Amino acid sequence: MSKIRRLVLDVVKPMEPSIVEYAKKLSALKGVSGVNVSLLEIDKKVENVRLTLMGPGIELDSVIDVVESLGGAVHSIDEVAAGREIVEHAVTLEEM
């Protein structure tokens, strides 16, 4: 079975812990070689962030467990790349 190599999630999290803490915890997971946490929106009590994880074998359940242990919730899975190669998104005419 192919392993997940890139995973992009939309996450709602409390103001604390910081996105730095999220990045540190997620980057320590087995099969994850890099993490990017981008702040998308700030509300009075929560932040909306985009998590991008790269690695040779990302385990979705482990990622969700860390997010939830830090008080967050996965709002959506926005992208998944699996297989021997990562296929980049091709822009279509509708997107231009």
| 78-94 pLDDT, tens digit each | 999 999 888 888 888 88
| 45-84 pLDDT, tens digit each | 999 999 999 999 999 999 999 999 999 999 999 999 999 8
- How many CB atoms neighbour CB 17 within 10 A? 14
d(CA 32, CA 29): 6
Q: Domains along the chain? A: 15-86 (3.30.70.1340)
Distance of CA 50 to the CA centre of its chain: 6
What is the spatial order of strands in the sheet that 73-82 belongs to? 34-42, 46-58, 4-14, 73-82
